[in-house]
């Protein structure tokens, strides 16, 4: 009993300390959401930059801790302002999801830049504090815990005083309440925006520094988790609600801490994603809102730019396919064929994204989850039940369609930006389940020894064989989808993309048509996942990550939303481009991020236009 | 039996009654207009009748069946079609596709009994385009062009243009065409002539007259009272969520309560001079229109 109490109180301290850090991240996100009505995906990257700047300060320059804090806050504030100035400011007046996508591009770029500068390996973070742990009333507390708590309290009080008692804080609150009115009253809302980003980024950077010290390590991929923990905390507290974000952060920290104590450490990241979706779906105003308001929709509409598709002459399609089919004979370069095979398989995923996001208007960042379901389903059917690949592939696609749609179903009531976050979280949840359901999936070990794809006794081992197979599948998927979107069904999908209310008034059952869209998309993505898995011969919970999902969406934006040929052009371009310019291969994600930014800014309808 | 029957319907937002115990009915073939100052609850009532919003109290019956527990997409299948106050065309869809969507609930694929059958049918039809579906689509297309032809040369030449490229007035016409494509038993028009110039308004009036002559049941919200007076069989006047008068146009027009509603409220007079209120609400133009009956 004594030891249970001790564990319990230790977990509580633990949870509060981590929660304090989440609160730091969440407050920044809440400020940005409140002022700019923007969900900032780059926030975790700034957090990671803060951790690295702190690491540089302490290991390279041997600066005292207090100075490191100041340097981190300043550098991150500058980064935040730069993000606002160069990525978001030019997008004023664009559809609300445009700046969200831009922050995804920025986060890709920052993450890759840090990787290039500091390598992708973790670095040990020195602990400048005394290692002694204090006994306070039966609870052990480390110096770092006290530091985090202290910084947290100081930051919260400073922020409160700033918002309450300064002119700038006044302007910030006014802008958050009513941007137009603030502008009318002479508030420089653009300056307020930039200042908000600076404050949020400084807070995020300090959180990064604290996390680095707490876990004694920094690594580039810490950014994505931080963004999501922050989202979960913000959503718990109510979007745009700053005190709510602090409470949400602390609560999330406690939930994680107790959850890990009960279920085990590998479950740590699952809680945030599940909480995120559950709160978005069932309490979209957060836990602490007194009365449920009439649901506000600060962010609606998918990223559909006005404009017609660029006319692609029909006679061009057949020769293009022809060229793709004779290419292995003309250029029997296995390296090239491998890259193009990747492009075909990712092209299928891009097709699935363009169906849900471009045609049906449900911005999806969870496509990798469908791929993972497909890959694991096929692997298990082949390895455990001895099914032939051609059967397992079809079954896997169907399992992906059913499971994927069921997973997304609770999020159907969400609109554009929220469904983007929810689907991203669903993709993560799929991977977390794969990681933790060891009996079925072998957990972190992954599944090795998948036989290569085969079709009616034809084993695809050499590059050109799998090339032909994936190209054929891509053509089939494109043909299927082309028939669907040209039919009355496609018209109905587009109507709900354009205006759900009007579509509903004309008898369109939104849930059914979203089910169809996600079902077909998850089928195609699952098929691609199954083939990809067998091609790699090894899959794990890290094979199909959110990066793949974001990449697929970038391909679609590049090619033009809802445009089938555009999706394939986008897939080929983004897969091949870094390889063609050999030097670019190391800068792959910089290229992806920059592409996303530039397309959103200068050609929002994509290369081939919205269809 | 009345086609539409509204029984003591109320809807409150944050404690304010936007619609307060409203009752009225209309018969098949009637044209009824709802008029009243801004904020009287007209559009809220429309939203209740079309299922986009739920009443807190009361019942709405259509052809004897209570509507208030039906999902929003079930209203169209019963023959209720509407246009929207601020216009809700599908911007990136062509004019033709906009109008064709009006027939959504008439398509064979959507007639299935269960949701599973519905989905399976949509998928099968979409993939294989059986000849029955092609024929249906062709027939609907011809019908859509017929409906659009009623607007003369306004929309026919723009059949394949995206709706966002249309003028404001043309978008309203597309919305009406889309609603007609449902073959509605009850057509609800929310300010069909808003933003139209006098010539366009006259044209719309003529169009609505033809609809009416064909026996179309129309429930209309409209601010241009001359149009209301010429077109309606009956007029329902709302103010502050309540029905304050109802009857034939010529009776309603001389009802003192109606005139007062448009001039200003005596209840707001506490501490504020009545004509000040009237001036701040700028109702004079309406009054002029009301008394002269001119467009």
Q: Is B78 in the same domain as B211?
A: yes
Would residue B142 count as lying in a domain? yes
pLDDT in tens, A328-386: 999 888 888 999 999 999 999 999 999 999 999 999 999 999 999 999 999 999 999 99
Judging contacts by C-beta atoms under 8 Å, the chain B residues touching residue A510 are 73
Instruction: Assess B238–A contact: CB distance below 8 Å, yes or no.
Output: no
Q: Is B192 in the same domain as B78?
A: yes
Would residue B100 count as lying in a domain? yes
If you write DSSP's letter for every residue of chain B in order, what string do you get? --SEEEEEEEEEETTEEEEEEEEEEE-TT-EEEEE-STTSSHHHHHHHHTTSS--SEEEEEETTEE-TTS-TTHHHHTTEEE--TT----TTSBHHHHHHHTTGGGSGGGG-SSHHHHHHHHHHHHHH--HHHHHHHHHHHHHHHHHHHTTTTTTGGGTTSBGGGS-HHHHHHHHHHHHHTT--SEEEEESTTTT--HHHHHHHHHHHHHHHHTT--EEEE-S-HHHHHHH-SEEEEEETTEEEEEE-HHHHHT-HHHHHHHH--SGGGTTS-HHHHHHHT--HHHHHHHHH---
In chain B, the number of structural domains is 2
Q: Is B151 in the same domain as B237?
A: no
Cα B96 from Cα B85, distance rounded (Å): 21
Range of the domain at B103: 93-165
Instruction: Assess A510–B contact: CB distance below 8 Å, yes or no.
Output: yes
Cα A321 from Cα A472, distance rounded (Å): 10
A492/B104 touch (CB, cutoff 8 Å), yes or no:
yes
Would residue B63 count as lying in a domain? no
The percent of residues above 70 in pLDDT, for chain A, comes to 95
pLDDT of A294 > 70? The answer is: no
Instruction: Assess A495–B contact: CB distance below 8 Å, yes or no.
Output: yes
Instruction: Assess A507–B contact: CB distance below 8 Å, yes or no.
Output: yes
Instruction: Assess B118–A contact: CB distance below 8 Å, yes or no.
Output: yes
Q: Is B81 in the same domain as B227?
A: yes
Judging contacts by C-beta atoms under 8 Å, the chain B residues touching residue A605 are none
pLDDT in tens, A25-50: 999 999 998 888 888 999 999 999 99
A499/B88 touch (CB, cutoff 8 Å), yes or no:
yes
Would residue B111 count as lying in a domain? yes
Q: Is B83 in the same domain as B106?
A: no
Q: Is B218 in the same domain as B132?
A: no
Would residue B191 count as lying in a domain? yes
Q: Tell me, what's the ipTM?
A: 0.89
Average pLDDT over residues B48-64: 94
- When scoring A488, A496, A521, A606 by the number of chain B Cβ atoms within 10 A, the one with the most, hence best to mutate, is A488
pLDDT in tens, B111-134: 988 999 999 999 999 999 999 999
Nearest to B188 by CA among B45, B37, B16, B41: B45
A505/B75 touch (CB, cutoff 8 Å), yes or no:
yes
Q: Delimit the domains of chain A by residue range.
A: 2-282, 319-545
Would residue B19 count as lying in a domain? no
CATH number for the domain spanning B231: value is 3.40.50.300
CB contacts under 8 A, B 170-209 vs A, are 178, 182
Q: Is B262 in the same domain as B204?
A: yes
CB A556 within 8 A of CB A429: no
Q: Is B282 in the same domain as B205?
A: yes
Residues comprising chain A, all counted? 611
**CATH number for the domain whose boundaries are A2-282:** 1.10.3470
- For A507, the closest of B76, B92, B126 (CB atoms) is B76
Q: Is B43 in the same domain as B117?
A: no
Q: Is B218 in the same domain as B276?
A: yes
CB contacts under 8 A, B 82-111 vs A, are 82, 84, 88-93, 97, 100-102, 104-105, 107, 109-110
Would residue B194 count as lying in a domain? yes
Nearest chain A CA: its distance from B260 CA (Å): 33
pLDDT in tens, A505-530: 999 999 999 999 999 999 999 999 99
Q: Is B228 in the same domain as B265?
A: yes
A488/B81 touch (CB, cutoff 8 Å), yes or no:
no
pLDDT in tens, A400-444: 999 999 999 999 988 767 888 899 999 999 999 999 999 999 988
Residue A295's pLDDT band, with cuts at 50, 70 and 90, is very low
Nearest chain A CA: its distance from B221 CA (Å): 17
Q: Could you give the angle at the alpha carbon of B163 between the alpha carbons of B98 and B104, nearest 5°?
A: 10
Nearest to A493 by CA among A344, A323, A378, A356: A356
- When scoring A296, A494, A506 by the number of chain B Cβ atoms within 10 A, the one with the most, hence best to mutate, is A506
The model's pTM? 0.90
Q: What is the pLDDT of residue B264?
A: 62
Q: Tell me which residue has tokens 């973790």.
A: A122
Judging contacts by C-beta atoms under 8 Å, the chain A residues touching residue B129 are 483, 487
Nearest chain A CA: its distance from B77 CA (Å): 6
Q: Is B287 in the same domain as B199?
A: yes
Instruction: Assess A506–B contact: CB distance below 8 Å, yes or no.
Output: yes
B109/A510 touch (CB, cutoff 8 Å), yes or no:
no
Q: How far apart are the first and last CA of chain A?
A: 65
């Amino acid at each position: 009993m004594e030891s249970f109490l001790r564990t319990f109180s230790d977990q509580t301290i633990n949870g509060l300390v981590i929660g304090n850090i989440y609160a730091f991240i969440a407050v920044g996100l809440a400020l940005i959401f409140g002022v700019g009505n923007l969900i900032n995906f780059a926030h975790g990257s700034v957090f990671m930059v803060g951790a690295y700047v702190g690491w540089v300060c302490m290991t390279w320059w041997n600066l005292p801790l207090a100075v490191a804090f100041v340097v981190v806050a300043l550098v991150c504030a500058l980064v935040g302002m730069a993000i606002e100035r160069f990525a978001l400011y030019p997008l004023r007046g664009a559809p609300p999801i445009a700046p969200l996508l831009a922050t995804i591009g920025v986060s890709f770029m920052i993450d890759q830049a840090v990787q290039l500068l500091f390598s992708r390996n973790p670095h040990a973070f020195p602990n400048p504090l005394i290692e002694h742990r204090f006994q306070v009333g039966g609870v052990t507390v480390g110096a770092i815990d006290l530091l985090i708590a202290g910084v947290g309290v100081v930051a919260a009080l400073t922020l409160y005083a700033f918002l309450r008692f300064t002119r700038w804080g006044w302007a910030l609150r006014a802008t958050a309440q009513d941007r137009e009115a603030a502008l009318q009253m002479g508030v420089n809302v653009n300056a307020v925006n930039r200042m908000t980003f600076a404050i949020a980024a400084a807070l995020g950077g300090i959180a990064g520094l604290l996390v680095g010290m707490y876990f004694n390590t920094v690594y580039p991929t810490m950014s994505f988790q931080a963004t999501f923990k922050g989202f979960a905390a913000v959503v718990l507290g109510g979007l745009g609600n700053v005190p709510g974000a602090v409470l949400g952060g602390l609560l999330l920290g406690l939930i994680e801490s107790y959850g890990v104590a009960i279920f085990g450490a590998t479950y740590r990241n699952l809680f945030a994603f599940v909480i995120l979706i559950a709160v978005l779906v069932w309490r979209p105003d957060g836990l602490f809102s007194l009365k449920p308001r009439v649901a506000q929709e600060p962010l609606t509409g998918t990223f559909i730019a006005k404009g017609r598709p660029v006319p692609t002459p029909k006679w061009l399609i057949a020769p293009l396919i022809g060229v793709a089919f004779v290419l292995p004979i003309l250029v029997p370069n296995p390296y090239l064929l491998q890259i193009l095979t990747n492009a075909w398989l990712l092209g299928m995923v891009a097709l699935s994204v363009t169906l849900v996001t471009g045609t049906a208007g449900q911005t999806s960042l969870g496509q990798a989850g469908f791929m993972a379901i497909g890959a694991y389903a096929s692997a298990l059917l082949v390895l455990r039940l001895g099914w032939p690949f051609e059967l397992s592939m079809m079954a896997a696609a169907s399992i992906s369609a059913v499971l994927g749609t069921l997973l997304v179903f609770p999020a159907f009531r969400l609109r554009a930006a929220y469904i983007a976050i929810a689907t991203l979280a669903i993709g993560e949840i799929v991977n977390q389940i794969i990681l933790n359901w060891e009996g079925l999936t072998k957990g972190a070990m992954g599944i090795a020894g998948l036989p290569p794809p085969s079709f009616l006794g034809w084993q695809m081992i050499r590059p050109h064989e799998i090339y032909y197979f994936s190209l054929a599948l891509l053509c089939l998927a494109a043909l299927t989808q082309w028939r669907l979107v040209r039919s009355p069904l496609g018209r109905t999908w587009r109507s709900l993309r354009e205006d759900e209310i009007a579509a509903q008034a004309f008898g369109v059952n939104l849930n059914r048509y979203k089910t169809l869209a996600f079902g077909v998309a998850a089928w195609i993505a699952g098929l691609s996942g199954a083939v990809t898995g067998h091609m790699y011969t090894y899959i794990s919970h890290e094979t199909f990550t959110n990066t793949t999902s974001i990449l697929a969406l970038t391909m679609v934006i590049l090619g033009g939303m809802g445009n089938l040929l555009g999706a394939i052009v986008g897939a080929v371009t983004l897969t091949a481009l870094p390889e063609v310019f050999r030097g670019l291969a190391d800068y792959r994600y910089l290229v992806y991020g920059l592409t996303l930014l530039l397309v959103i800014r200068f050609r929002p309808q994509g290369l081939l236009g919205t269809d | 039996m009345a086609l539409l029957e509204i029984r003591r319907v109320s809807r409150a937002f944050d404690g304010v009654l936007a619609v307060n115990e409203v009752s009225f009915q209309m018969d098949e073939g009637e044209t009824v207009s709802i008029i009243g100052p801004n904020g009287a609850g007209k559009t809220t009532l429309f939203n209740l009748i079309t299922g986009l919003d739920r009443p807190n109290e009361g019942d709405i019956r259509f052809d004897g069946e209570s509507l208030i527990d039906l999902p929003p997409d079930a209203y169209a299948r019963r023959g209720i079609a509407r246009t929207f106050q601020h216009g809700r065309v599908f911007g990136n869809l062509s004019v033709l596709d906009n109008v064709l969507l009006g027939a959504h609930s008439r398509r064979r694929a959507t007639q299935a009994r269960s949701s599973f059958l519905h989905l399976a049918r949509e998928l099968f039809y979409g993939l294989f385009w059986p000849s029955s579906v092609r024929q249906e689509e062709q027939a609907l297309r011809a019908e859509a062009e017929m409906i659009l032809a009623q607007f003369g040369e306004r929309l026919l030449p723009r059949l394949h243009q995206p709706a966002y490229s249309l003028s404001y007035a043309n978008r309203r016409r597309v919305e009406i065409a889309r609603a007609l494509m449902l073959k509605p038993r009850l057509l609800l028009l929310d300010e069909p002539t808003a933003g139209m110039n006098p010539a366009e308004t006259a044209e719309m009036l003529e169009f609505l007259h033809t609809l009416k002559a064909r026996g179309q049941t129309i429930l209309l919200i409209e601010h241009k009272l001359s149009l209301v007076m010429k077109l309606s069989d009956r007029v329902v006047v709302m103010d502050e969520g309540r029905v304050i008068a109802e009857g034939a146009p010529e009776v309603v027009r001389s009802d003192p309560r109606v005139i007062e509603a448009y001039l200003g409220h005596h209840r707001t007079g506490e501490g504020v001079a009545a004509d000040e209120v009237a001036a701040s609400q700028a109702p004079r133009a309406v009054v002029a229109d009301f008394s002269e009956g001119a467009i």
